[in-house]
Structure 1
Amino acid sequence: MAISGATKITGIIGSPVKHTLSPLMHNAAFNHLKLNFVYVPFLVKPSELGDAIKGFKALNVRGINVTVPHKERVVKYMDKLDPLAENVGAVNTVVFENGNACGYNTDGTGFIKSIKSATSLHGKTVLVIGAGGAGSSVSFALSRENVRKLFIYDILGKKASVLAGKINSKKGLARAETTSSPERVATETDIVVNASTSGMNKKDRCVLDPSLLRKGMFIYDIVYNAKTQLLRQAERLGAGHMDGMEMLLFQGAAAFELWTDRKAPLDIMRKVITERR
């Protein structure tokens, strides 16, 4: 639809944002439903995050997605937090209402919907690599499923310990354990989830020793814009594997519905992002 004085603005903040497929996905959905919305990327440096949130409020922006490296840092700028976002300590979706910034986390929902379409989680031992914003969301989401055991690794060991502590402080969740090395628990792991940003870097390296991967494992990498070394190794072995494209779709659909109060057109959104691969 044509931009007008009544157009509602949505977008994504991060650094970098050039790689994102979110504008393509959301604008296709807006156009399909004939909604007077537009979605644009905003490059926001960490030092500018607070000013950016104030600016969005002043400009009457409807909502934003939040990507690396801001998912945890943005929490302190929220006026209200959804209970899940508060538990996780990370926000990936913001709705601006009546001068307030309301933070939500749709990453966990997006991850679970995507991985369940490819493999079962019941009774499985899962290793999550990365305890940042996405890793926290994924770990909390997994702890609500019937997994047998949840291991968390982060290159900054304290981050993994803090995350495991948060999960273990909640009743009814699977127990989380930290590991000083992903290789130490690889032999008992059924599912490996790379929730770090290593695959986005030019010097992409396999986050787990390839010799420890095996055909019976399921390998998931949340990176969606490139086939990472981890996924290449899984493919070589014939192991089940998945990238983050479906997670992008489902978390985006949840954000779309928060902003518009309309059901997201999943087929349209999936079509445009898969065609861009």
Structure 2
Amino acid sequence: MDPTPNRTVPGEGIEADRYVCPDLRVRPDGIDAETQLVGVLGYPVRHSLSPLMHNAAFRHLGLNWVYLAFEVPPESLADAVRGMRALGIRGLNLTIPHKEASLALVDALTPAAQAIGAVNTLFWDEGRLIGDNTDAEGFLRAVRSAGCALGGMALVLGAGGAARAVVYALKSIGCPVVLANRTPERGRALGHALGVEQVLPLTQEALRPLMPQVQLVVNCTPVGMEPDIDTMPDVPLDALPSGAWVCDLVYRPVQTRLLRTAQQRGCLTIDGLGMLVYQGALAFERWTGIPAPLEIMREALVSSTTV
């Protein structure tokens, strides 16, 4: 004789409690048929703090919106964007590894996205899906808000989507830029695309002669991100001049090994939360048309991270 479950969904014979997601039991009020959906696509993406930041902003402003994280492998990106169109999702952020691959999936690009060659935000404009890049402006706002007076030589580490945005931002305000990457060919390709003449290997030996001239180092690689928190880019920080700045775009953890080492060397530092807040605020405004509550967004991030 077949066993009979103790608790079942009527007519199905399925144990109900086994199939109820615990998170649904504590789901916040306010999600209904009118709720507008935005989110982030990445792979991986479970580390993202963007849902905390944006949902805090929506709650603060009383907006019936929700922001979710969608883990989408590269081979499914086109399907995900088609799903955005079909489902009426109001906007998306794109993170690693989708920033460059998404260029061909939109109806039009903003000048920033086109020049950078990477997209981090999708929004609608009169029925057209627009690819934008808020990383560049978000980076400049974050660095300036930290008190760094831009203008001297900047050393950018990496050659991915974030590095493209940072190089574009720095060159747009006249900063001389040197690029360093572990894969020389990819570094040279980015340098050629954005007009960076000096591209070096990301090694102590290659970078040491340059360091006394550098005002700002920006880590645009994932080196040092959780779970590999004991790693850092191979940069001779001890050769930096007095008063130099080190910025790490990694924000999990907030205080990376790179930043801690830079502080021990007497450098001024900028963590990754500032750029996350400012680029997110710009995306928020693209989607909603409402000024973003910056302090609320920052507080949500700070309260959720361990420094």
SS in 1 for 2:280: helix
| Amino acid of the structure 2 residue aligned with 1:7 | T
1:60 alignment partner, one of 88, 93, 110: 88
Question: How far off its partner does 1:146 sit?
Answer: 3.4
Residue 219 (structure 1) aligned with residue 246 (structure 2) = yes
Cα separation, partners in 2 of 1:176 and 1:260, compared to 1, 3 Å: farther
Which residue does 1:172 correspond to in 2?
Answer: none
Which residue does 1:4 correspond to in 2?
Answer: 32
2:180 alignment partner, one of 150, 153, 169: 153
Q: Relative contact order (C-alpha < 8 Å, sep 6+): which is higher?
A: 1
2:269 alignment partner, one of 241, 248, 259: 241
Question: How far off its partner does 1:72 sit?
Answer: 0.9
Question: How far off its partner does 1:214 sit?
Answer: 5.2
Query: Given that residues 8 and 61 in structure 1 are in contact (C-alpha distance below 8 angstroms), is that contact kept between their aligned partners in structure 2?
Result: yes
| Amino acid of the structure 2 residue aligned with 1:150 | V
Gaps of 5+ in 1: 169-174
Larger radius of gyration: 2
Query: Given that residues 24 and 273 in structure 1 are in contact (C-alpha distance below 8 angstroms), is that contact kept between their aligned partners in structure 2?
Result: yes
Residue 196 (structure 1) aligned with residue 196 (structure 2) = no
SS in 2 for 1:193: strand
Question: How far off its partner does 1:81 sit?
Answer: 0.6
| Amino acid of the structure 1 residue aligned with 2:213 | E
Query: Given that residues 10 and 37 in structure 1 are in contact (C-alpha distance below 8 angstroms), is that contact kept between their aligned partners in structure 2?
Result: yes
Cα separation, partners in 2 of 1:52 and 1:99, compared to 1, 3 Å: farther
Which residue does 2:212 correspond to in 1?
Answer: 187
TM-score by length of 1: 0.91
Matches within 5 A, 1:1-277: 2-97=30-125, 100-117=128-145, 118-122=147-151, 124-147=152-175, 149-168=176-195, 176-180=197-201, 181-200=206-225, 202-203=227-228, 204-207=230-233, 208-213=235-240, 215-226=242-253, 227-277=255-305
Query: Given that residues 211 and 236 in structure 2 are in contact (C-alpha distance below 8 angstroms), is that contact kept between their aligned partners in structure 1?
Result: no
Give the CA RMSD over aligned residues: 1.7
Report how many aligned residue pairs link the two structures. Answer: 269
Distance 1:153 1:269 in 2: 32
Gaps of 5+ in 2: 1-28
| Amino acid of the structure 1 residue aligned with 2:150 | L
TM-score by length of 2: 0.83
Distance 2:251 2:174 in 1: 26
Deviation per residue, 1:121-158 (Å, 9 max, x gap): 12x111000111000000000001232x2101122222
Distance 2:98 2:240 in 1: 31
